Amino acid sequence: MTEIQEYPIGNYRPHSLAQGNRNYLWVTTDDKAIIRVHPGAPGQQQTVNHSMIPQLTAGIIKDPDGLQKVWFAAPAPPERQDPIVIMETTGNNAVTFYPLEDDAKAESIKLRTTNTGTPTTPVYEYSLLFAEPVHKYVGILTPSTGLIDRMQVTQNTWLWDVAVTTAADGRTHTYWATGQSRTTSPVRTENGLYRRRHGEMTWESIGVLRPGQRPFYVIADTTAVWLTATSPNQVIRFDLGSGTTRTVDLGTAVPQQLAFTATGELWVASSEGLHEFDKNLTGSGGLVRLPNGGGAKGLCVAADGKLWYTNPSKKTVGSYTVPPPPFGSASLMGRTQIVSQSESEVHMKDHVEQPLVAEYVANGRPIPNIPLTCRIDAEGAAFEDGTRERVILTDQRGRVALPAVVAGDVQEEAVLSVGLGDTEPHAAATLTITPA
């Protein structure tokens, strides 16, 4: 069995993809459709193409509160409104729009997690980040309130992508954005990586690019910021501690999106396939070419650890089973560990907010955007929506907070567990449920 496989998705040109609830993959396209793919049987697909799906759809993430929804950006054609969209992943796949300005655009959408509680009793609030290039701001949409905060960018640039880094307190954020020059209206003159620190009102340019180099996608963890760029084609790492930069040249390969995998390596999609690098960009890395040609664009990691990608020119999606260790390099599979437990004993029928916080660590550092499977092994207790299993993405500090648990009318020892699918023994804690 080959480690890389591709699957057609009909006459649709895919852009990005993410794993939602029930482990389905959801794929955005340039063709007024969202495609649902079963990762265990990729030939089983559902095309959502009703009249409310925007013509173009781009960056996508699963609902951060565990609801049966996905969120995506819709970079509409000129003269059409470009909203942030929520789509139900059940029933008739109803959509809700968060409209921006009439001529606004958005191509990226990222997760921000904020601890509004205390270090010992964390309470997490989720927000969505996006870049708006026409009006030049980074937007923060908080689903719990429906409000959008706008962080204006004064540099003369066409914003492209965003990322966030969060301090150890869980509430102090630094924001990152890439922006490009542009010759068509509205004309923009700057290429840059921009940073806005906590408490500041302005963005500063970080000098990591060569003259004329155009940045594209950006991701970050607690140690560094990585971005892709063209002219020349490179992957760039900016170290948050030392402020130093390291680059890797990709030659003729045009880089696209980036992702961290479960072993802590950095993967980059490109016009020539999938590139693997260690976290420090040491060495030239490795390249996995696509089986049918074309090029990779979107990337995501599934709950079983597989790397999935989109191939727009071939109108396919693909999966890659990363061999352990990748390309013979020294690598340790990640592990999940418990950070805190808010309650160890509750009464029947009690409601426990965020009962457990866990983190995923690989090669000594927490890894963002890893889909961890959260479970309750119990007779009566369940998550708030009645389910006993959820897949939740780790935040920018590699952490997940289990959603609220409702104790049933059974006296029992409920086991709460978190792990990467079934690839590792889950980290677990016990919640004792006693009579009122």
Every domain of the chain and the residues it spans: 4-327, 335-434
CB of 245 closer than 8 Å to CB of 238 = yes
Task: Give the CATH number of domain 4-327; options: 3.40.50.1100, 3.30.930.10, 2.130.10.10, 1.10.3080.10.
Answer: 2.130.10.10
Q: What is the mean pLDDT of the chain?
A: 91
Q: What is the pLDDT of residue 76?
A: 72
Q: What is the pLDDT of residue 329?
A: 46
Residues 6 or more apart whose CB falls under 8 angstroms from that of 383 comprise 66, 376, 390, 402, 403, 404, 405, 406
Distance CA 39, CA 57 (A): 21
Residue 79: pLDDT band with limits 50, 70, 90: low
Over 80: is that where the pLDDT of 141 sits? yes
Distance CA 309, CA 314 (A): 12
CB of 261 closer than 8 Å to CB of 334 = no
Q: Write the Ramachandran bin of 325: left for phi over 0, alpha for psi from -120 to 50, otherwise beta.
A: beta
The string of pLDDT tens digits covering residues 376-404 is 999 999 998 899 998 889 999 999 999 89
Q: What is the pLDDT of residue 325?
A: 55
Homologous superfamily of the 335-434 domain (CATH): Macroglobulin (MG2) domain (2.60.40.1930)
Please give the model's pTM, rounded to 2 decimal places. 0.93
What ranges in 288-378 are assigned the alpha helix state H?
Answer: none
CA distances from 56 to 14, 31, 273 (A): 10, 6, 24
Residue 81: pLDDT band with limits 50, 70, 90: low
Phi, psi of 40 (to 5 degrees): -80, -20
Distance CA 220, CA 208 (A): 15
Q: What is the pLDDT of residue 284?
A: 81
Distance CA 94, CA 99 (A): 16
Longest dimension (CA), the chain: 69
Over 50: is that where the pLDDT of 331 sits? no
Residues in the chain, how many?
436
Going by C-alpha positions, the residue among 322, 327, 296 that lies closest to residue 217 is 296
Distance CA 225, CA 159 (A): 17
Distance CA 56, CA 32 (A): 6
Distance CA 9, CA 42 (A): 9
Residues 6 or more apart whose CB falls under 8 angstroms from that of 296 comprise 256, 269, 270, 271, 273, 274, 290, 309, 310, 311, 318
Q: What is the pLDDT of residue 1?
A: 40
Percent of the chain with pLDDT over 70: 96
In this prediction, residues 280-290 reach a mean pLDDT of: 91
Strands 427-434 and 365-366: unpaired
- Per DSSP, the three-state class of 314 is helix
Beta bridge pairs of residue 7? 317
CB of 236 closer than 8 Å to CB of 227 = yes
CB of 53 closer than 8 Å to CB of 74 = no
